[in-house]
């Protein structure tokens, strides 16, 4: 059986995101998403957005995504997340309050799968390796919180943050980990995309800690 390429799998979603963004005023999009809008000519403009420590340019009106540092398109999944952030942004401020995945709009439907993919994987990787977790989180730009045995938050977009809280195993309880979301997250990405982003964060933490 032939495996589908990322373009074949996600191409329709990217095409729809491009059409959806083309229908919006880029100045308003930038205002609501807390990103930088620049008018280049009478017929072209761009938005600069920071995603997980890297800067990206979204060109209007044809809509293309460019990673600024290398001048190339990022992977299609990253393009979709960036475009969806811009499309869904409604200007709601960060809540500075953390919620679990199941508390997101419709999150209960995907909660069991998300916990397996993200929370349980993190607990297995770092449940007895506090130093490894701290080093991995710092390597990915995490900033310290005070929850659990160790915790960090990660600025994903200007108005979207995720956090990871680790509880080490002890004599009574097994290790556990929780990927949390700023309570305003649903104003910036659909829950399905937040599941992808949370899984991506867990995967990158595990890889940075030396796991697979």
Which CATH number characterizes residue 125's domain?
A: 3.30.310
Both tokens of 115, joined, read: 């916990």
Rounded Cα distance between 101 and 146, Å, is 20
Q: Kind of pairing, strands 45-51 and 143-144? A: unpaired
Residue that is last in its domain, among 59, 88, 117: 88
Q: Are residues 169 and 84 in the same domain?
A: no
* Through-space distance between the first and last CA atoms of the chain, rounded to whole angstroms: 25
Binning pLDDT at 50, 70 and 90, where does residue 2 land? low
Closest C-alpha to 178, from 143, 150, 136, 210: 150
Rounded Cα distance between 99 and 181, Å, is 5
> 93 lies in a domain?
no
Q: Are residues 41 and 102 in the same domain?
A: no
H helices present in 60-129, as ranges: 76-88, 107-114, 121-126
Q: Report the pLDDT averaged over residues 2-16.
A: 80
The whole-chain average pLDDT of the chain stands at: 94
**Domain of 24?**
6-88
Both tokens of 153, joined, read: 């938050």
Both tokens of 123, joined, read: 């607990």
Domain count, the chain: 2
Q: Are residues 155 and 201 in the same domain?
A: yes
Q: Are residues 159 and 195 in the same domain?
A: yes
Q: Are residues 186 and 113 in the same domain?
A: yes
Q: How far is CA 71 from the centre of its chain?
A: 21
Both tokens of 67, joined, read: 């990673």
Q: Is the pTM of this model over 0.85?
A: yes
Binning pLDDT at 50, 70 and 90, where does residue 1 land? low
The answer, yes or no, to whether residue 61 has pLDDT greater than 70, is yes
> 1 lies in a domain?
no
Rounded Cα distance between 194 and 107, Å, is 10
Apex 212 CA angle, 125 and 202, nearest 5: 55
């Amino acid at each position: 059986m032939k495996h589908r390429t990322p373009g074949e799998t996600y191409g329709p979603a990217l095409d729809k995101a491009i059409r959806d963004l083309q229908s919006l005023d880029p100045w308003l999009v930038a205002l609501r998403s807390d990103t930088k809008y620049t008018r280049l000519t009478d017929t072209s403009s761009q938005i600069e957005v920071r995603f997980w420590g890297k800067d990206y340019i979204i060109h209007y009106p044809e809509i293309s995504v460019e990673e600024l540092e290398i001048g190339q398109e990022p992977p299609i999944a990253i393009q979709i997340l960036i475009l969806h952030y811009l499309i869904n942004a409604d200007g709601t401020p960060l809540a500075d309050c953390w919620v679990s995945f199941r508390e997101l709009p419709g999150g209960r439907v995907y909660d069991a799968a998300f916990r397996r993919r993200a929370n349980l994987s993190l607990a297995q990787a770092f449940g007895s390796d506090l130093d490894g977790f701290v080093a991995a989180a710092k390597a990915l730009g995490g900033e310290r919180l005070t929850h659990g045995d160790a915790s960090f938050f990660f600025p994903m977009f200007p108005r979207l943050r995720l956090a990871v809280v680790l509880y080490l195993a002890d004599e009574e309880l097994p290790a556990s980990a929780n990927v949390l979301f700023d309570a305003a997250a649903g104003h910036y990405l659909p829950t399905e995309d937040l599941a992808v982003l949370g899984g991506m964060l867990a995967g990158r933490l595990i890889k940075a800690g030396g796991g697979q």
